[in-house]
Amino acid sequence: MCQPFSNAQLSRLPQTAALSELHIQDAFWNRYIDLVPRQILPYQWQALNDQLPDTPPSHSIRNFRIAAGLEQADFDGFVFQDSDSYKWLEAVAYSLAAHPDPGLAAQADSLIELLGQAQCEDGYLNTYFQIKAPEQRWHNLCDCHELYCAGHLIEAAVAYSQCTGKDRLLDIACRFADLIAEVFGPGDQQLHGYPGHEEIELALIRLWQHTSEPRYFNLAAYFINQRGQTPNYFELERDRIDFYELFPGSRQNRPDLSYHQADQPVRQQTRAQGHAVRAVYLYCAMADAAAAAGDQELLAACVRLWEDIAWRQLYLTGSIGQSGWLERFTTDYDLSNDANYSETCASIGLALFSLRLGRNNREGRYHDVAELALFNTVLAGIQQDGTRFFYVNPMEVWPDNCIKNTSRQHVEATRQPWFGCACCPPNIARTLSGLGQYIYSLYPQEHLVMLQQYISHEARLNWDELAGRTPTAADITLRLTGDYCRDGQLTLTVEHEAAFTLALRRPGWARTFILSDQAGRELKGREQKGFIYLDLAAGQQQIQLSLQLEPVWIQASPAVRADRGLIALTRGPLVYCLEGCDNGADLWSLLADTRELPAETETAELGGYTALLSRGWRESWPDWDERQLYAPLRQPEQQPVCLRFVPYAFWGNRKPGEMKVWVRRGSVRP
């Protein structure tokens, strides 16, 4: 990738429908989306202002007040505490696009004004260094998250400008981005570094898309290309006399370069490694940069890294990052169930990475993984009342062994009201309020609309607007109705005055995927890379989509040691699990009978869902002597039982207790 680029050398990235022109009305998703303006954002505003009782204080907004000179106190919280407020602002922006709310807008605008007051004259904005170490800017990129926080500021600013038309936050972000562009780069008087926690790279590309200012793209490309080069910047900065020790004694410890995806240049990387969130945020930026610059080598690296995740390091629920030690990837097929980390933010990052690759390569498999993450782990990360959250998303929980200061101390048996490190709650909020970005990819020059997530909605598109021209051509209106997760029967109504091509993703889980017109005649389109392409003539048309939704027993690759002899249950995009409140204690004693498919039953609890009922057995040794830890082998008694499976996304919303995704496979004794 050569630098610098002009806009003439860069291609516009695939677009999505404006959130102000896309309204989600979905039985499955609206139980969460409707909570965003009503419950989630107000609750998080209280958390950010340290107003919630019996929860860890955030300090985030208070730190801005201190930096602005409105209070006198020391900085408190983590070095990246600013980013929680930025993600909240981004979530507010998306919410206001669909649900105008003067009170919420006033809260956001007041925070934006506070950021402006806190910003330094030269554009710098980071409360940790402004309050705690004002002379130590940029003296520890590896550990200190300055560029990470700047990235979330930029993302919030772009979103707020796009969704509200207000540019005050954008002005603040551009001033900071301009300063960063002066400080970093290939020049002799510039720093040749890059962030320890990636995020600013993808944010700068978003800023370039919004402002058409190529220096922002070029700075993102510099950060991407400089990463992992020799000599390594993280090693050089640690040897400098003015290195800032965030952690006492850290100068003596050499940086773990693989943890920061910096052990080799990004084009040479073949394995997803290190901190999971950092990795997928980097890969998002690589995918965007490759698409904009036509960089096939960089795109190939993205595909390799995505395949390494999807083929060897991905949990069935769409989560990643196996280890509770430093929130990182481990090794191939190391997918333990009761000690996995699977941070909510990592699944969000994986969905964003998969979305980008799906748009760039026009392949359905990437959107399959985004769907898996969104419908399972991301939703499991939030309580259905919008006020409690999972940071970690295990595949199995035994509450008795979630003990502090042990190897499973990171696993919580119940969602928490807040965290000292609260990156996940506002990340979930911005994902839910911005969910519409996952539904379409739009290619104005080709008059191509790709529908990739089946979330019921109504959208209005205009080719001229999407191409940046004054609107003259007629709109396209698309209405998707039905209940994707309940019965797989959908209706897409299209109204348009000019011909265009519509591509519909065929989900990887769907054994049958039938398209038909209003009269019931089957539609035959061109199938390519997981999409079916239909050439639509002008007019109003109705397309029926019929997907076969049925329970499927799943087994893991034989290489996954933790899942040998175990099976799991899915139905459509949803992964299912057992809970103790339905099946009693000691879920390990249960075996499932796989000779027939589970029965489906509808329930109104938790907003309504399909539960699955399977025959099975409970093993027991009723005469076991509790004083005997081990004994000669003998057969257990088996009692027939009915196993009740519920969607993993909903677990933990009723009573605390055990949970298990992978269950033992039973067999009938001769």
Residues noted as catalytic: 327, 423
Q: Please compute, for residue 429, the number of CA atoms within 13 A of its CA located in the half-sphere on the CB side.
A: 34
Closest CA to 545 of 523, 573, 575, 571: 523
Element (H, E) at 583: helix 580-583
Query: Who's near 623: CB < 8 A, 6+ residues apart?
Result: none
Q: Which tokens is 484 given?
A: 């994707």
Q: Identify which of 650, 658, 670 has the alpha carbon closest to the alpha carbon of residue 590.
A: 658
Residue that is written with structure tokens 């909903």 in the block? 650
Residues contacting residue 72 through CB under 8 Å, at least 6 positions apart: 66
Q: Rounded CA gap, 532 and 503, in Å?
A: 5
Task: Determine the Cα–Cα distance for residues 228 and 194; give it in Å rounded to an integer.
Answer: 9
Q: Length of the chain in residues, anyone?
A: 670
Helix (H) or strand (E) holding 650: none
Which H/E stretch holds residue 350? helix 344-361
According to DSSP, residue 151 is labeled H
- Residue 658: CB partners within 8 Å, gap ≥ 6? 397, 398, 399, 578, 579, 580, 585, 586, 587
**Which token pair is 661?**
């995704």
Question: Taking a C-beta distance cutoff of 8 angstroms, is the pair 462, 471 a contact?
Answer: yes
Nearest residue to 151 via CA among 422, 427, 354: 427
Both tokens assigned to 287: 């995918």
Residue 340 is inside which H or E element, if any?
none
The span from the CA of 573 to the CA of 423, in Å, is: 26
- Cα dihedral angle (606, 609, 613, 614), rounded to 10 degrees? -110
What is the DSSP pairing of strand 659-660 with strand 22-24? unpaired
Cα 597 to Cα 169, 398, 554, distances in angstroms = 54, 27, 12
Task: Measure the CA–CA gap between 161 and 145, rounded to whole angstroms.
Answer: 24
Please tell me whether residue 458 adopts helix, strand or coil conformation: strand
Tokens for 619, please give them.
């093993």
Is there a contact between 373 and 649 (Cβ–Cβ < 8 Å)? no
